[in-house]
């Protein structure tokens, strides 16, 4: 026999107590009324009052049982489930008496749902924290061990050789820079992922921002022999967004377009009307680079995901750029689309709200 079945055959003690009090009260008052007004003998009055008391006891117990037992039982079941963290089992509780017990049941269910949501939220944060710390320590290890290796070799005698010496210091510097970028990106992504960084929405001219970004990346593109092309669009288009965050999105996308490209390749930037919503524009960053395999494509916005770890590392990549892009676009409640073909190129698109 299960615990709940066992419960059902038990006596409803509260109901019985209320019924007993009612029956005592009605028995005593009937006895008094009978003795004063009916002219019955003491014994007969007592027997009649006793009969009435028994009747009241049974009727009262029956109603108490019907009105309270099931719902109190439900409350007990809910609290037992909560203590076992089983929240889903009372999702469909309906109440139809609109009295204090119903009110209690309703509020009990409501509070347990709040507890459930809070537990889930805390679990999510905790999992995120664990994963994040795991990822960070993994990512920090590579440059730190590299620096340790170079410095050790230098200390073990390589310092004497001028050429080796310079080469190793350059490599050490590259890894130090990697650590600097990594910590900067980590701060940014953790703020974005926990929702700490709020977007500061303001209207601005899209052309100016895109122009600034292209200017800042011009040197890198030239060095890699990749052409940066901004196709014509209405210079008067204004959008409402966080200017610095959108700048960051464009930098990350265009930088990728350059970084994962080939010599003589190009990165084209377009701004067009968004067909699905006339209040929005679509920003397009399209490259003619190495492309991303179909199987890897859905994962590129995950933090620390890199298709080719060694190629990314060698170019200073930490695998956070697109995760930051995704979070910024989500925080703006805009859409991000991407598509790619290996050896043909990659296209990233995102929407922004226009200011009329
Ligand atoms: N335009 C692109 N063409 C080809 N591969 C790309 C492109 N953009 C991103 N990727 C792939 O997706 C991965 C994740 O990109 P992401 O920008 O997040 O990281 P990253 O460039 O490695 O490092 P960083 O944090 O410096 O941006 C890259 O490592 C690369 O493999
Ligand atoms: Mg990148």
**Cross-strand bridge partners of residue 353:** 280
Atom 21 of ligand 1, nearest CA residue: 317
Q: 325 in ligand 1 pocket by Cβ < 6 Å?
A: no
The H-or-E segment that residue 239 falls in is strand 238-241
**Residue with more model confidence, 113 or 247:** 247
- The sign one gets for the Cα dihedral 157, 159, 164, 170 is positive
pLDDT at residue 157, as a whole number: 81
Atom 29 of ligand 1, nearest CA residue: 306
Nearest ligand atom owner, CA of 348: 1
For the cut 90, the answer to whether the pLDDT of residue 91 exceeds it is no
Domains by residue range for the chain, with CATH:
3-86 (no CATH), 202-353 (3.30.565.10)
Candidate of 317, 324, 342 to mutate for ligand 1, largest count of ligand atoms within 8 Å of Cβ: 317
Strongest mean pLDDT among 94-108, 109-123, 151-165, 224-238: 224-238
pLDDT at residue 29, as a whole number: 97
Nearest ligand atom owner, CA of 311: 1
Assign 4 a pLDDT band (cuts: 50, 70, 90): very low
**Residue with more model confidence, 327 or 310:** 327
Neighbours of ion ligand 2 (CB under 5 A): 256, 321
Mean pLDDT within 98-111 = 84
Residues 6+ apart with CB under 8 A from 257: 226, 267, 285, 286, 287, 289, 346
Atom 31 of ligand 1, nearest CA residue: 307
**Residue with more model confidence, 1 or 274:** 274
**Is 284 exposed, middle or buried (CB count within 10 Å of its CB: 0-12, 13-18, 19+)?**
middle
Mean pLDDT within 217-229 = 96
pLDDT at residue 8, as a whole number: 56
Q: 345 in ligand 1 pocket by Cβ < 6 Å?
A: no
Assign 72 a pLDDT band (cuts: 50, 70, 90): confident
Contact 15, 65 (CB under 8 A): yes
**Residue with more model confidence, 336 or 195:** 336
Ramachandran bin of 39, using left for φ above 0, alpha for ψ from -120 to 50, beta for the remaining angles: left
């Amino acid at each position: 026999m299960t615990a709940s079945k066992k419960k059902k055959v038990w006596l409803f003690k509260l109901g019985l107590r209320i019924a007993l009090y009612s029956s005592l009260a009605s028995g005593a008052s009937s006895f008094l009324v009978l003795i004063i007004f009916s002219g019955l003998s003491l014994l007969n009055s007592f027997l009649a009052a006793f009969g009435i008391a028994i009747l009241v006891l049974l009727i009262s117990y029956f109603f108490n049982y019907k009105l309270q037992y099931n719902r109190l039982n439900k409350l007990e079941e809910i609290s037992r489930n909560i203590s076992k963290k089983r929240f889903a089992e009372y999702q469909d509780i309906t109440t139809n008496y609109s009295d204090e017990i119903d009110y209690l049941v309703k509020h009990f269910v409501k509070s347990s749902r709040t507890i459930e949501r809070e537990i889930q939220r805390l679990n999510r944060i905790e999992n995120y924290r664990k994963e994040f710390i795991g990822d960070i320590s993994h990512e920090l290890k590579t440059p730190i061990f590299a620096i340790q290796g170079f410095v050790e070799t230098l200390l073990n005698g390589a310092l004497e050789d001028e050429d080796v010496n310079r080469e190793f210091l350059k490599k050490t510097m590259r890894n130090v820079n990697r650590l600097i970028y990594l910590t900067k990106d980590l701060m940014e992504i953790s703020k974005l992922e926990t929702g700490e960084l709020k977007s500061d929405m303001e209207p601005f001219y899209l052309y100016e921002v895109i122009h600034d970004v292209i200017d800042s990346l011009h040197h890198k593109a030239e060095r890699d022999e990749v052409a940066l092309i901004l196709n014509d669009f209405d210079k008067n288009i204004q959008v409402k967004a966080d200017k610095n965050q959108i700048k960051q999105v464009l930098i990350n996308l265009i930088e990728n377009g350059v970084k994962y490209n080939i010599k003589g390749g190009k990165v084209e930037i377009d701004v067009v009307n968004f067909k699905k919503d006339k209040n929005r524009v679509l920003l397009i960053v399209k490259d003619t680079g190495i492309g991303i395999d179909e199987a890897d494509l859905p994962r590129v916005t995950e933090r620390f995901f890199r298709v080719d770890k060694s190629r990314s590392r060698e170019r200073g990549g930490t695998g956070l750029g697109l995760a930051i892009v995704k979070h910024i676009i989500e925080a703006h409640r805009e859409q991000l689309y991407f598509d790619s073909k290996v050896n043909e190129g990659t296209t990233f698109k995102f929407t922004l709200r226009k200011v009329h």
